[in-house]
Amino acid sequence: MATLTRSPRRAALVYAFILTAGIWLLLSPYLLGFAWDPNAWWNATLIGASLTLIALLRFANPTGLTGLRWTTLIVALWLMISPFVADYYDIRAAFWNAFILGALTLVVATSEAASRPLRAR
């Protein structure tokens, strides 16, 4: 079975996506108009801050902190199911924002988690 090996460029693209997703989540309650709902707002804010922090930590130390690869998977899964757990599935903008961004982040995080870590030089 072939194992993917991450190149520094590919890893940077993954972290850039995760950083962008985190920043988008922080802004999305205001841009998509669901800041009035506390459950949707808190979820977007906390998950956005988490993804932003994960990406910044991975940018700062791409060869270490390998546990964050799996943390990103868990955060992405939470993002997908959070509209149902946090009871804001009836707010369409918040629901689709969380579900689609969670699915995209899950795909990106899975590709990163399935690859071998970068080697320090």
List, in sequence order, every residue forming a beta bridge with 5; answer none if it has no partner.
Answer: 116
**Residue 44 phi/psi, 5° resolution?**
-60, -40
Structure tokens at 25: 């989540």
pLDDT tens, position by position, for the chain (121 residues)? 444 555 677 778 889 999 999 999 999 999 999 999 999 999 999 999 999 999 999 888 777 777 777 899 999 999 999 999 999 999 999 999 999 999 999 999 887 766 655 555 5
CA–CA gap between residue 98 and residue 85 (Å, rounded):
12
96 and 16 in contact (C-beta within 8 Å)? no
Who contacts 73 (Cβ-Cβ below 8 Å, separation ≥6)?
Answer: 106, 109, 110, 113
Provide the 3-class DSSP secondary structure of residue 62. coil
According to the model, what pLDDT value does residue 113 have? 63
pTM for the structure as a whole: 0.84
